[in-house]
Amino acid sequence: MLPTPVTSHLTRADFDNHVYEPAEDTFILLDALEADADDLASKQPLICLEIGSGSGCVSAFVAAMRGPSIVSLCTDVNVHATRATLRTGVANKTRLDVIHGSFADALADRLRHSVDLLIFNPPYVPTTAEELEAAKAKASLAGAWAGGEDGMSVTDLFLPSVADLLSEHGAFYLVAVASNKPDRIIATMHERYSLAGEVRPRPHHVR
């Protein structure tokens, strides 16, 4: 098992007030990516784009796993998260190129059909519309988890962009919980964009 990236440079104040702290969902994502390491290794070079990079833990993990053959791009709407991602890249001796902005909006034209690995751990917790809007208005830490009705309000905004971003053999990793109805997400992506998908089982170990 590859080591989890170092995030000790981020303080308790960072995690309590501004940046989503790596948690079980983060580690499940790392496990899925590591399980597919051989498939990802076949792509040379690898262009990776993480939406909502937060602490930078996931992108730093992929960059360390692939080495110098990877181009690691990260976006986050939270400026504190972009700074945290940059610091995590430095702390783990990996280059992470970070853009402050929503989804892949600033990169969409340049990256059209060019992304080999697309990663999104979205705000997926079901909340009221009012809670979601309050999190957006305050640009608070709640924005990292508040997902609105069914936890899908943010994810639904991004999914139409996936097919345009992915390269011919690109892969998209999305973190979801049961209330997000993963099977329905997969069916929708297949029907609308001809993208195949699968639900990965929960791993039996914790990093």
Give the rounded percent of residues in the chain with a pLDDT score beyond 70: 93
Q: Could you report the per-residue pLDDT of 130-151, keeping only the tens digit for each?
A: 777 776 665 667 677 778 888 8
One-letter amino acid of 148: G
- Helix (H), strand (E) at residue 157: helix 153-165
Average pLDDT of the residues in 57-78:
94
One-letter amino acid of 173: Y
Q: Check residue 80 and give its pLDDT.
A: 94
Burial 33-66 (b: 16+ CB within 10 A, else e): bbeeeeebeebeebbbbbbbbbbbbbbbbbbebb
Superfamily of domain 12-193: Vaccinia Virus protein VP39 (3.40.50.150)
Q: Check residue 72 and give its pLDDT.
A: 97
Average pLDDT of the residues in 1-18:
93
Say how far apart CA 135 and CA 18 lie, in whole Å: 12
End-to-end CA distance of the chain: 9
| Whole-structure pTM value | 0.93
Average pLDDT of the residues in 30-48:
88
**Angle at CA 94, nearest 5°, toward 25 and 176?**
15
Q: Check residue 149 and give its pLDDT.
A: 82
The residue ranges of every structural domain in the chain are: 12-193
Cβ proximity of 153 and 147 under 8 Å = yes
Say how far apart CA 64 and CA 72 lie, in whole Å: 10
One-letter amino acid of 39: D
Residue in this structure with the two tokens 């998908």, named with its chain if needed: 197
In the predicted structure, residue 203 carries a pLDDT above the cut 90: no
Ranking 89-93, 139-143, 166-170 by mean pLDDT, the lowest is 139-143
Q: Residues with Cβ < 8 Å from 75, sequence gap 6 or more?
A: 49, 50, 51, 52, 53, 98, 99, 100, 101, 102, 103, 104, 106, 107
Q: How confident is the model at residue 17 (pLDDT cuts 50, 70, 90)?
A: confident
Strand ranges (E), the chain: 46-51, 70-76, 97-100, 115-120, 166-174
